[in-house]
Structure 1
């Protein structure tokens, strides 16, 4: 079998180098701030994961304000470590305020990651509820203008004639109302559900009783 040629993407190589440098700067800053051992290595992982979570939220197109907020927080932490370890800060004498920021970062990262994750779950749950409510709403009986228009125009206004198909639809609505509430449907409710004039609704109610 002929081996496929390997193509090196310069952009990916550049991204890998930049990520490695940023990772090392965050590790060095955490180590200088008193976070030794595995904790110093966990800080850059935490910052990068928060960046990825915020970027995914921005790409999803939902709750972009939260995505931008935590993306800027994580980016500031990454850039701050890069600048601090570039010779502008004496890593042998880290100021107290920076030690406080480094020590408090795990709580900030945990809060941001939790809000981003739970925000996505809430958004998807709302979408599922809306999609589930759609078919139910479509099953509700809708007004039948074509059946209403079929009523003879020559009938007296006080005693309108009701098409059999409209009576069947009204009976279905009345049965549904009784099953849901346990009480017979009244004329005003029947009129609202069918979208018919009041005289016609009264005539239908008379046939249902």
Structure 2
């Protein structure tokens, strides 16, 4: 019940304040030369711009655009209230005030259009201080109990792959026997016959080489032909 009464009292206060502000704006507009329905339209325009800017602040958050037009509408409303409090002669309104009142419709139209069709720039929130993320708890590598697992077998060394056996190096082929002239063979036969006649045994290769005075290869070739 108390909350309901408190809400009603707030609404009544808002209605009274709105009615007084509406009347002051009407009187100021009429004194500035805006007679008839135009004098009644001025307070509606000022209050609607004030409400639109406040709604923009409530829905989209703080922005320079919304605060700018909210302050413009608030100054217009408060200025009318102060001007009609006896500080201004409504019978002789200065020219600058007549100019402001006459320019208000265009100003209010521009403000309402901007509030309705522009995104506005919000005041950015200060960045939150960055704190380093805690390092994750890493469990140490579990160690197996030696008594549980027993003696682990020694690692078997991998056998190196067997290298292929080296191919046998072919033995150098024997040098071909040098050609022996037939005359030399005949002379060797005589020397061999003479040696057999004196010693009674066939002549050997070393003796034949010494008697003929030829190289070892040639002596071997001659001995092969005498055999």
TM-score bin (small chain): 0.5 to 0.7
Structure-2 separation of matches of 1:90 and 1:109:
25
Structure-2 separation of matches of 1:71 and 1:7:
27
Corresponding residue of 2:79: 80
Distance 1:117 1:12, change over 3 A: same
Distance 1:120 1:94, change over 3 A: same
Corresponding residue of 2:110: 111
| 1:118-164 C-alpha deviation (Å, 9 max, x unpaired) | 1159x9xxxxxxxxxxxxxxxxxxxxxxxxxxxxxxxxxxxxxxxxx
SS at match of 2:89: coil
Corresponding residue of 1:97: 96
| 1:28-66 C-alpha deviation (Å, 9 max, x unpaired) | 000000000000000000001100110111001346211
Compute the RMSD of aligned alpha carbons: 2.3
> 58-67 or 89-98, which moves further after superposition?
58-67
Structure-1 separation of matches of 2:5 and 2:17:
22
Corresponding residue of 1:18: 17
Corresponding residue of 1:70: 69
Gaps of 5+ in 2: 123-227
Q: CA deviation at 1:21?
A: 0.1
Question: Which stretches of structure 1, 4 residues or more, deviate above 3 A after TM superposition?
Answer: 5-8
Gaps of 5+ in 1: 124-209
Structure-2 separation of matches of 1:91 and 1:115:
33
- Normalising by structure 1, we get a TM-score of 0.53
Corresponding residue of 1:53: 52
Distance 1:93 1:33, change over 3 A: same
Structure-2 separation of matches of 1:41 and 1:21:
13
Count of residue correspondences? 119
Does 2:34 match 1:35?
Answer: yes
SS at match of 1:112: helix
- Normalising by structure 2, we get a TM-score of 0.49
